[in-house]
Structure 1
Amino acid sequence: MTNSIFKTIIFSLLITFPLFASEWEKTTAENETQLFNVQVLESKGYEVKDNIEFSSTTEAHQRIQVKSEIMTTVDSVLVKAGNLVKKNDLVVKLDEYETNLELFALDLLSESEFKKIALYAPFDGILLDNHKIAGELVTPGEKVYELIDLSSLKIYGYINENEIMNISNENEVEITILGENVQGVIDYVSPIADPETKTFEIVVKVNNKDLRYKDGLSSIISIIKGKVLAHKISPSILALGDQGELGVKVITDNNLVGFKEIEIIEDTSDYMLVTGLDKIEKIIIVGQQYVSNGEKVNF
């Protein structure tokens, strides 16, 4: 009797198992087809320069007002405004200059006294047009003429405290003035922060021996901090993490959705350059808003 029952059970299993296996495979297939479909881009990262960029304006290397130390009148202006003058050129002749020159030549007038009347150019530069003219009275401490030196330019910028540790005079600098690329170096990094803004002043120096560029031109400075691995992505694929952090959704092992936080290092109207991703990433570019971290998907 027992053997008969056992044989009956075995026979029943042999008949029902294929049916059960078939149903299980069918259910599994249905579950697979129910996975959400996303579109994926295999993105390959590449090295880019990591920089700090700011806008500023050019300033002359030197600019000085030459002032009178005595009360007198202007005899004549010897240089036309806008023209170059050399160091020690006489730019504006004051009354009594010739007399004082003779006395100085005869050692009857000290050099310090002679320089009060002999307003020589202190450096090579360009005469600005806001000078005194012949016949005008000048008083002690009053400006007689102004000179500007454009042989090199200074461009000022301000770096926040989170970035200053990466900046020194050794950093490479990329400069554009009115859209033209020019060469320059970091000439000065302030050792102290502005107490109100917590920023540090830096000065970039640009060679301008040909005097091509003027004082007050728009410029863009990029200070290179180093190189980083970046991916070029579309802003439309961005997603937010559980804590509101900015990132993208990617495909990890076993077709599971993962979230990776990113940092934007360049943002244009067409694309973004971001860091924080591996060398090769499968980034979800369509459907990322409908899937969750850890969810299995089809792609």
Structure 2
Amino acid sequence: MERERELYVTGGVETIPFPASLAQDVYACTRVCRTWEPAASIVLWESVVVRTDKTFVDMTFASFCSSFRLGPDKERADAVRFLDLGSVARSWCVTRALCRRFFERLQGLRGLKWDTFCGAEIADILPRLNVSSPLLVALDIESEENFPIFKNAADVAEIASTFARLEPFVSSKRMRRILFAAIGPALRFWGSERFPPAVDMTATSLPLLECVEFGTYYEIKPDLMRKLESFQPSLRRTIQHLNLRDCNPITDATLSVLSNYPLLHCLEISSLPNITPNGITNFLRARGSELRFLNLDWVGPSPFAAIASYAQNMEHIVI
């Protein structure tokens, strides 16, 4: 017996006959869909793009609910391979606990892209990536705004380990700034224009410090120089990279003082009009044996004769 249903369309009612085998056909389709469902769900979770906090909350809730069917230790978040949190809305309202819980489930994550929508969440997630996502091979951080300052040396060490593993896939400049956004004994990079001034640096020792950067046209304040000089043990024994570009007034006398320091691997002394060819030659003669990188202005051929004689490990020269 044919069954009919009414379909309301413009201008009247049209009747569409249903075949007698409809129920059996629907049942067969249901069985096929149930067979496909696990594989289909995994595919849908492999690449996830999130642009709003509501989407993120819905995604975490769906993953949590999947554990009722998959088992207490399994969630759909385990299937995420690429997570894109770039360009998210600035009105991000997701609890830190919820973010932490979701990222702890991303054991299979290979690629992560995010914007620094909230420094608090990043402070929770970034130090744990090595453990929560051991298969991660690519990390793209779009912005450095609101990036947290890490005071825990253990967190800095974990981040350093993550970035060391991902170095070919992360912008070196951005990686350095993010990694070294620490204060106190954990400080590795001190950028005068971006990070804490000398008055905020209460530590008396910086055993992990690798680089001090005086930015372009930066005015060197006496309190900063006194602070750098006061650290024990002295920083002189650890500095290998020195950037004095545009740092006026730097003269031949400055290079003469540097001749008493340990051997440098990298020296940048461009845009320093008070430095003479003789000053550069004398420095290279005294401390050029380990120098790999040199950035300087053209002051004549004499420094290059000194490089050939006293800086034979030189790899890169920028003029």
TM superposition score category, shorter chain reference: under 0.3
More helix by share: 2
More strand by share: 1
Normalising by structure 2, report the TM-score: 0.23
Normalising by structure 1, report the TM-score: 0.25
Larger Rg: 1
User: Which structure ranks higher in relative contact order (CA pairs < 8 Å, sequence separation ≥ 6)?
Assistant: 1
